[in-house]
Amino acid sequence: MEPAERRRLLAALTAHPGLCATCEHLQLPASKRSVFVRCGLADADPGFVRYPPLPVRLCRGYRQQGAP
């Protein structure tokens, strides 16, 4: 996802996503009127919630976007 599109979708959220806002695993599925915060780690690991309650303050899978 392009950075500008990511910023636009994050701005459309009604609740701050917390750590998810800067996590590389963040997915932002959107419909015409809604944007959802989805954890990409949930696809492979059932220990992660697919659509976590917001804001996410602590996450063992957090990895800052763009980190080495």
Tens digit of each residue's pLDDT (9 = 90 or more) over 31-54: 999 999 999 999 999 999 999 999
Domain encompassing residue 39: 1-63
Half-sphere exposure of 62 (CA within 13 A, CB side): 13
Q: Note whether residue 68 is domain-resident.
A: no
Instruction: For residue range 4-24, list pLDDT tens digits in order.
Output: 999 999 999 999 999 999 999
> Which residues, in sequence order, are CB contacts of 51 under 8 Å at separation 6+?
36, 37, 38, 39
- φ and ψ of 26, to 5 deg: -65, 135
Count of domains forming the chain: 1
Tokens coding 33: 């009127």
Q: What pTM value is reported for the model?
A: 0.88
Tokens coding 37: 């915060």
